Amino acid sequence: MKKHTLQAEKRSVFGRKVKNLRRSGTIPATVYGKKIKSEALQLDGKAFQKTYEEAGETGIVELKIGETMRPVLIHDVQKDPVSDDVLHIEFFQVDLKEKVHANVPLVLVGEAPAVSQKIGTLLAVLNEIEVEALPADLPDHIDVDVSSLSEVGQELKVSDLKPAGGVTALNDAGLTVVKVEPLVSKEAAEQTAAEAAAQAATAEAQAPQAEGEPQKEGEKVQTGQPKDEKPSGEQSARQKPSEDHK
């Protein structure tokens, strides 16, 4: 497994002033974990982007803060919906000896006979699943072999997936991952795409506001609240900071 390292430093700039950091190419961030107090950080934007492209959200990153190295996962990356620039980063510090929960992307592999023979088309229902594993065992993706799908109505479920050893899928085993749908007309496909785009736009409009971004008129201010900890012996990459330092 390739080792990823990032240099960060403690941050003393908060609120609207973080805009000046972004203009200089520096990204505000927060690191938190199950047994640590959350800290406000800042780091070079270009260095982060390179590491993020390689490690994703499942690769362990050695985050160097001063002289201290911390094993972390890149938990959440907030981006500007227009420019796609990174606005804020959340790092989750892990214990390498304790299992974590993380979302892992699904990648379709192989050729479905139903598609090659123009019988139907594939519909990916799930793009990722939640898994449990030791931090070092987290895969960057899980393959979904579609070569057995030859008829309309056939599908693959979570139970059909074959993650690597030490990785356990947490989703309902009966959930559909991908299925074969009848071929549709061009007009129907365009309508489906338009509906999906409208849903995505609605979800984007409801996304949480990043630190330092102006609040829209009539919009409620949301403050981070800590979630309940997982049972002993288990940690979650979804756990929120115990105190908000964005």
Rg (CA), the chain: 21
Q: What is the pLDDT of residue 200?
A: 77
d(CA 147, CA 126): 17
| 105 bridge partner residues | 128
Helix (H, G, I), strand (E, B) or coil at 129: strand
User: Measured between alpha carbons, how far apart are the two ends of the chain, in Å?
Assistant: 31
C-alpha distance from residue 39 to each of 52, 158, 193, 226 (Å): 20, 37, 42, 14
Q: What is the pLDDT of residue 231?
A: 45
- Please say if the pLDDT value at position 156 is more than 50: yes
- Please say if the pLDDT value at position 18 is more than 80: yes
Using the CB atoms, write b or e for 43-53: b if 16+ within 10 Å. bbbeebeebbe
The larger pLDDT score, comparing residue 227 to residue 89, is at 89
d(CA 126, CA 217): 35
Element (H, E) at 113: helix 113-116
C-alpha angle with apex 226: 78 to 218, nearest 5 degrees? 60
Residue 187 confidence class, pLDDT cut points 50, 70, 90: low
pTM above 0.75, yes or no: no
Average predicted confidence (pLDDT) for the chain:
84
Domain ranges of the chain: 1-98, 101-183
Token pair recorded at residue 174:
């009966």
Q: What is the pLDDT of residue 222?
A: 43
d(CA 1, CA 55): 10
Select from 2.30.22.10, 3.40.228.10, 2.40.240.10, 1.10.1200.120 the CATH code of 1-98: 2.40.240.10
Residue 210 confidence class, pLDDT cut points 50, 70, 90: low
- Please say if the pLDDT value at position 35 is more than 90: no
Q: What is the pLDDT of residue 211?
A: 61
Four-residue CA torsion sign, 180, 184, 188, 191 = positive
Residue 116 confidence class, pLDDT cut points 50, 70, 90: very high
C-alpha distance from residue 73 to each of 28, 31, 82, 96 (Å): 16, 10, 26, 11
Q: From its phi and psi, is residue 189 left (phi > 0), alpha (psi between -120 and 50) or beta?
A: alpha
d(CA 54, CA 245): 27
Q: From its phi and psi, is residue 46 left (phi > 0), alpha (psi between -120 and 50) or beta?
A: alpha
C-alpha angle with apex 237: 232 to 239, nearest 5 degrees? 70
Which superfamily is assigned to 101-183 in CATH? Answer: Ribosomal protein L25, C-terminal domain (2.170.120.20)
